[in-house]
Structure 1
Amino acid sequence: MKETDLSKRIKELRVRLGLSQDELATTSQLNLRTVQRVENGETEPRGDTLKRLSNALNVTPNDLIEWTEQEDRGFLTFLNLSALAFLAFPLLGIIVPLALYMLKKDKIKNIDYTGKRILNFQISWCLLIFLSYILFIGSVIFHFNIHIPQVSFAGFGLLELIMISVPLILYLINTLLVLINAFRSYKGIQVVYKPAIPFLR
């Protein structure tokens, strides 16, 4: 099994204190095999085991957990950036972050908050972008009778310019929000994706 950040941290602290696995097992009053399995990432210490190891390593359980969570800021940053998949196709901006969110759900600090904010915004954005496409296509096919002053630029009427500009502006806003929030996650600051309909709470 893959070694986890928590197992690496426990091993690092043990080595820093100059303890062997056997000595850590004795100090923490745990079985040697348990210590070996924890350090190899074969099991994740919880409850009493985590408390005993923390005491033996002169740290608190929260110190160990907080250290692990800080290491996962990189994943939260990646989770934000994954929403840029909307540039290839709008629905990918929901599907890719959703897959990553489900993969690490309940395993990383702040992933629930971050994941839901990203998904709420991307779902809202998709609805808006598809609505703008429908209006654009509808205006072309059905020639909606909208009374707009006859202004033209580069051969386009005002209505056409608006219909072309709206999707471009929406794409720009989405891209900027994703990049800003990826940076916020990297710095450990809560993400802000607004406006968005709170589909997921």
Structure 2
Amino acid sequence: MNNLNLAQRVKELRNRKGISQEILAEESSLSLRTIQRIENNETVPRGDTLKRLAIALNTSPDEIVDWKIQEDQNYLTLMSLSALAFLFFPLLGIIIPLTMWILKKDKLKNVNELGKSMLNFQISWTLLLFLYYIFIITGMFGFEGVLYIGILKMFLPLIILYAYNIIITIYNTIRVHNKKSFKYRPALRILR
């Protein structure tokens, strides 16, 4: 990470917290001039200075320096779209995003949060789908068997389930692409 990005990152974290340079200086026990030099890219915080900044900004030194985590919006968008693989086989909507999540969760920013949210939703959706199949096969909906169920009665819940998953996936993919927050709901919190 170059020094300019570090200076911008400190300023961004300070602004996100809604505090002035003076308050950051006070909370970090650093001088106002040190804060100004860091934000103006005149110096690079190291060691104790970095630790104090991190504590004052309620973050970690790694988050400030951000030397190992990079951003890749295209990867996040592709990862979000990968959930549409459920259209070919329901478990693919879990397997492909899971693979993408495992490969990059510690290397790319926001992959961990997106992956957990997506996977919780896809696992919940797949469980609901399989429960529906079990109910249909065993006749738990009060039907006398699959042969007596009207085609519309049998397939309407499936159409609704698939349509809902498509809508949620595309909606959240657009939000991810536009760098907005995403909400995959409803979902069981399997991955925390």
User: Does TM, scored on the shorter chain, surpass 0.5?
Assistant: yes
1:120 aligns with 2:114: no
In structure 1, what is the Cα distance between the partners aligned to 2:98 and 2:167?
A: 20
| Aligned equivalents of 2:157, 2:42: Cα separation in 1 | 58
Distance 1:90 1:144, change over 3 A: closer
Q: Is the 8 A contact 1:132 1:163 kept in 2?
A: no
Give the partner amino acid of 2:104: K
CA distance in 1, matches of 2:127, 2:170: 21
Q: CA deviation at 1:163?
A: 2.1
2:169 matched to 1:169?
no
| Correspondence list, 1:114-153, <5 A | 114-139=114-139, 145-146=142-143
What are the Cα deviations for residues 170-189 of structure 1, in whole angstroms up to 9, with x where unaligned? 01110111111111111111
Q: For residues 27-80 of structure 1, give each alpha carbon's deviation from its aligned partner in whole angstroms, at most 9, with x where no partner exists.
A: xxxxxxxxxxxxxxxxxxxxxxxxxxx99x7697978849x74x4111111110
1:97–1:144 distance in 2 versus 1, CA, 3 Å: closer
Query: In structure 1, what residue type is equivalent to 2:160?
Result: I
2:173 paired residue among 168, 173, 182: 182
Partner Cα separation in structure 2 for residue 182 and residue 126 of structure 1:
19
In structure 2, how many angstroms separate the alpha carbons of the residues matched to 1:126 and 1:108? 27
> Larger Rg: 1 or 2?
1
Give the corresponding residue for 2:102. Answer: 102
The gaps in structure 2 that reach 5 residues or longer are: 6-37, 46-62
1:146 deviates by: 4.5
- 8 A Cα contact 1:94 1:123, kept in partner: yes
The match for 1:25 is: none
Tell me how far 1:158 sits from its aligned partner: 6.8
Q: How many residues align?
A: 140
Structure 1: runs of 5+ lacking an equivalent: 1-5, 14-53, 148-155
Aligned equivalents of 1:192, 1:145: Cα separation in 2:
34
